[in-house]
Amino acid sequence: WNFCLLDQSTNRSYGNSIFASKRKEILLRDQDGKPNKERVFILECTKNVFTKSYSADVNDLRAWGEEDATQYLECIKNTLDNFKLDNNLLEK
């Protein structure tokens, strides 16, 4: 259920931390950075995961659950389906 893409430094910086800690680290690195750590580019979809933009219920920003992951995967599938449709139109 881990479909996020992060740079190596950010990914290693939080190890096995809970979702809330990972969220804080990613949002900090995307904005002004942290002392002794430079700002890094965070992919929009990765930010959306940690702000729970793909989730129907955003009441709990402290955890990433199975329902969150399922909704994110559905968004990925829908996006790919749309891409396939666009490619089919170009081939005609």
Phi/psi at 52 (nearest 5 deg)? 60, 35
DSSP 89: H
Quick count: other Cβ atoms within 10 Å of Cβ 49? 25
For the cut 80, the answer to whether the pLDDT of residue 83 exceeds it is no
DSSP labels, 19-81: HHHHHHHHHHHHTT-BTTB------HHHHHHHTTTT-S--S-TT---HHHHHHHHHHHHHHHH
pLDDT tens digits, 17-68 = 888 888 888 888 887 656 666 778 888 888 888 889 999 888 888 888 899 9
pLDDT tens digits, 67-79 = 999 999 999 898 8
Q: For residue 39, what are the CA distances in angstroms to 35, 49, 65, 70?
A: 10, 19, 28, 30
